[in-house]
Structure formats: C-alpha cells, structure tokens
Structure 1
C-alpha cells in the first residue's frame, strides 16, 4: 500500500468521516512561498548553478505540522484581499485562472504569500515602484512592523501604504495546490508559490512559529528526511523532489506549470486505515 498509516485516533476519525458520522473541518485558504537562492549569491564555494531553498522548522507545540520543516506560509487574512494595496505584476484575475479561484480569493492568496514571507523570513517582495524592490528590511522599525503584522495589529495594505511600497506580484510564480486531508483537525487549501531572493535582502532568524531556519539544497533536505534527521510533510516532500531536478533558480522561475490539485484521502485496506497520497508510487512511513 502506498501511503501513510493512520493508527489510533486518526484512524477512528477517518472511519467516522468516511461513514458520514462526523463532517470534516472546512479548509482555510492559505499561501506558501518557496524562497530560492543560488549558492554563489553567498560569495562562497559552490557551483554557480546550485540552488537552495529556505525552510523553517515549526515549533513542537504548534497545533499543525509540529516539528516539520516547511516553507514560509500561512492562512489568508480577510484584509489581504484589500483592493487598495498597490499592485505590480499579473492581475488577480490572472492568478485566479491559474489557481482556479475567484478574483477576490486570488488577490488574498497573493497578498498572503507576500505577507507571510515577510513575517516568517524577513524577506519582502515589494518595492518603491513597479520595477524596484526593497534592498534592506533590517532595523528596529522594520521589526516593529513585522511584529505588528504577525499580531494582526497591522494589515498588509496599511503596512505597504505607510511605507509607499508596491506589492511585486511579478516576483512570484505559481507552483502547486494542496488541500489538507479531511482527517486533520486543522485544514488548509494551500497554493504554493516560488520566488527568488531579492537582491540585497537576507533572511533572518525571526522566530515566531519557527524554532529553527535553514537554507538547504533540495536533494540535501530529501536526504536528511530519508535519514530521519528532519520531518517533511507530503506537500513539502513532493515540492523538494520536483525542485531537485533544477540546478538554476532562473530555470525554476521560467518553468511552465500546470497547477494540479492534490488532496490526500483516507482509505481502509484490509481493516487498516491509510492516508493515500495522489500520484505517488512510493511508501511513506
């Protein structure tokens, strides 16, 4: 059987959902961004074509994906769909067609992608104009705004407007669409984006939901997961596997992606409950 076993409470919950005894929790719209950089951008050794991805380890006490290495991301804030946000790049209608979402949802997804990336890495995909990007997001004033965004005391629109910044939707590329299995107590309807590190900016150990951050080559992250050193959820595992086929950030950004929706499902096989991962032919245990 290809998939993940669902023992104990998860197995019983899966049975109850399949039988209609309980209803699954609705999935909340969310956005995730895979930040990419070239090794040579560090000015150190390494092939010019080698790329790394930015990952965070979620704190052990988190209600969802505790201890997992993930990409920056999170739920859409209702204020993310504010039409007053200064915008450069593909219009929300275009993103909606790509991700199979209405225009308002698409706007919220792109804004959430930019906001969550700043909150969880300190990287801001915005600039003073439609063809520039902020060069430095360090300093106490930036940190105060980041904390206010995390606490929801400040909306993305107000943050950008007070700094005179334009959201750079053109720096994002669509990558994938995953929906959390119905068996989970917290569920997300997540669109995945990829983006290159803006010139001059750098990630920081910003804390929040993370207790560790790291830049890893996709193949190295997969190797560490196989060795049991880190834990990867199926969407992260698949994304890293796909990115491992690329040696250059530009090639990733230029890739024409057909966005397919993946939603792992529960199934009973020989009296045991399993979580089946669509499109996968390997066993995850």
Structure 2
C-alpha cells in the first residue's frame, strides 16, 4: 500500500536510488467513455489518499518472466506487463478484461460470488491467475491494451516504479448491472445498446477491494475528474492528472453533470476514433519530431521551485509562485537512458504542482514555452 511519504520527493536524494519495480496501470474506459479511478485507503484521519488507475506490480508467478534490471525490455511494453495489467485490474476493481474462449466476447459468465472468490484467491496467491482463467474458459484480452506512455519514478522518491500505462475500451453498447440502459449510479446515464437484452454484454460494476488498498471505485468523465482535482477535492498525482487531462477533450466532453445526455453509441464510437487518431498522429514540437504517446517514457524531475518568473531576466513563468514546483517530462530517467539511449519523454508540456504533506495539490499541465520562455497556455 502506498502512503504520501512514498511519493513525496526527498530533500536529499539517496546515494543509491532504489531500483524501479515493474508495474502496469490501466485507464479503463466505460461503455459510455468514462474513466475509472480508485480511491486509495486513508493513511490518517486527516488524509484522504489519492485517486489512481487500477494497476500494480508485476508478479513472476502470475505474469511470467520479468525482464532483468539491465535489459531495455525492463522499461518497454511486453507480455508480463500486459498480463499484469489484466490481473491487477481484476484484483483491484473486479472487472475481468478477458474473452470467452468459445464466443470471443468479453467474458462475464460468472456470478458475483465466483468473481469475488476468484479475485481474493489470486490476490492472496492461493490461485495463479492463468489457472483461474483456464478454469473459467477465458483468455486475457491483452491484445486490446493500448500503450499510453511509461512513467519511471524519479530517484529522489523512496518507493520507485517503472509503470507501463495502457488504455482499454469496454465495448460500446454493453451495460452495467441495474442500469436498465437508462441510468446507473456508478457511470451515469447509459444509452440504449440496440441489442436484445439476452445479447447485451453485462459488465460488473467496479467495486473496491474491501478496504485492503481502496475504499471506492467509480467511473466519471475525464473532465469531471480533472475538475475535482483542480478544486483540490481529490488528489491526482502528476501521471494520473496528465493522462486524464489528455483524454478529457475526446471522451465524454459534453457530459458535465449527472443530467447531461449521454451521446448515442455511434457518437461514443466516434469519440474513441477521434482519440485514437490523436494518439496516432505524428507529433511535432519546436519544429522537431516528438515521441509518440505509445513510446514516451517519462521520469518527472523537479526543475525548481519559485525560480521561474522570479529569477529569469526575461520575466517568463507567469503564474508560477514560489511554492510551486515545475516538473520536466522530457527525460526517461537514468536507468532507461543507460539501457536504451533512444528513449525519450515529452518536451511539449510540464506539470506544475505544490507538494504538501497530504500529497500534490494544485496540479496542472502547462505548455513548456509558457514556463520556460515564450507563449503558450494550459493543455
């Protein structure tokens, strides 16, 4: 379980930084193009922990061989990362990203009791994940995972990970229990799927893990999660904020309240296609080719605090006060640079935030030019 201290930068970096532990996370997109976040357990009576994507560390026993520390594959998408993404999503929210061996459709042919029993057995190590899937007649849907950046915890943080992020789209037209194709307390109004009731894929509502690591699991439009974070009503760490903000203009952008109408299935599919077009589009910054979101490897490093706009003679850095840290996203981290010099991060944006006792606050994403010189604006 993570605590705020595990993620807060140390004033004096350790002489030998801990080795980043391989992990996977999934940006799970609902049938109505909302994104799932889990609320971490509280670590004290005054601190509500961060909201995170489902995910966790790779396991050799569950996920297969893990690339060695010095291998370039340690920091690249691969079979173990993909299987861990499916397994951890199942363990943490109960939704199984697997297909029925016979029909090829998303596997949902188990009861809630069977799902919870299997989830606990895998989490406790009593059952291997692949053995459980074989018993159920399911295969992990690893091919549908879309790589969406990798994040390597910087060396001045006590607990470090090299995390492969993925996007996974639950089928448009599928439904959540109790929604009746109209409304659902978890993900909002649901449009008619156009399928006969017996043909519709019924996806289980996401649930927390009983308070072991999370206290809530909820789908909301990306823009609503960003609004909550900007109001400091929830805590999003820089990777979660950056990636959720990137999705916001494309997925459910018109859903601004519980009463907002949900787009038709055709429009929901077009939203997904527009997002994928954006992710596939060649990126250019400063007249030079930029790395794709699939290949980007980011180790956010604090450039400084209160330096921009105060010490620069050109007067750049408007809006960055002396309490705000500026995180550079263009480097992949020392370990990655040593094993694979071709890897790069993203130069176009920086993250600004204030690190406080309960975690990062006032997190935002700004154009690099706005902070380090020139014009620009927020993402």
Name the CA distance, whole Å, in 2 between partners of 1:157 and 1:76.
14
Q: Which residue of 2 aligns with 1:259?
A: 295
Name the CA distance, whole Å, in 2 between partners of 1:31 and 1:276.
22
Q: Which residue of 2 aligns with 1:109?
A: 81
| Shift, 1:14, TM fit | 4.1
Residues 94 and 206, structure 2, Cα contact 8 Å, conserved in 1? yes
- More helix per residue: 1
| Larger mean Cα displacement after TM superposition, 153-162 or 123-132 | 123-132
Gaps of 5+ in 1: 1-6, 40-50, 84-99
Residues 183 and 266, structure 1, Cα contact 8 Å, conserved in 2? no
| Shift, 1:218, TM fit | 0.9
Residues 81 and 105, structure 1, Cα contact 8 Å, conserved in 2? no
- TM-score by length of structure 1 reads 0.75
Q: Which residue of 2 aligns with 1:236?
A: 240
| 1:97-128 alpha-carbon deviations (Å, 9 max, x no partner) | xxx62699711101100001111111111122
Residues 36 and 249, structure 1, Cα contact 8 Å, conserved in 2? no
Residues 152 and 161, structure 2, Cα contact 8 Å, conserved in 1? yes
Name the CA distance, whole Å, in 1 between partners of 2:31 and 2:133.
28
Q: Which residue of 1 aligns with 2:272?
A: 249
Q: Which residue of 2 aligns with 1:95?
A: none
Which structure is richer in relative contact order (CA contacts within 8 A, separation 6 or more)? 1
Confirm whether residue 150 of structure 1 aligns to residue 152 of structure 2: no
Gaps of 5+ in 2: 66-71, 172-200, 252-270, 281-292, 308-322, 330-346, 355-379
Residues 58 and 66, structure 1, Cα contact 8 Å, conserved in 2? yes
Distance 1:274 1:245, change over 3 A: closer
Residues 75-94 of structure 1: matches in 2 within 5 Å?
Answer: 75-82=57-64
Give the greater-gyration-radius structure (CA). Answer: 2
| Shift, 1:234, TM fit | 0.3
Distance 1:283 1:201, change over 3 A: same
| Shift, 1:268, TM fit | 5.8
Moved over 6 A (4+): 102-105
Distance 1:129 1:191, change over 3 A: same
Residues 77 and 147, structure 2, Cα contact 8 Å, conserved in 1? no
Q: Which residue of 2 aligns with 1:210?
A: 214
CA RMSD of aligned residues (A): 3.2
Match of 2:230 among 226, 230, 237: 226
Name the CA distance, whole Å, in 2 between partners of 1:168 and 1:107.
11
Distance 1:284 1:200, change over 3 A: same
| Shift, 1:169, TM fit | 1.5
Give the count of matched residue pairs: 245
Name the CA distance, whole Å, in 1 between partners of 2:245 and 2:96.
26
- TM-score by length of structure 2 reads 0.58
Name the CA distance, whole Å, in 2 between partners of 1:151 and 1:66.
26
| Shift, 1:180, TM fit | 1.1
Confirm whether residue 165 of structure 1 aligns to residue 138 of structure 2: yes
Secondary structure at 1:34's aligned position in 2?
strand
Match of 2:21 among 11, 16, 28: 28
| Shift, 1:80, TM fit | 3.4
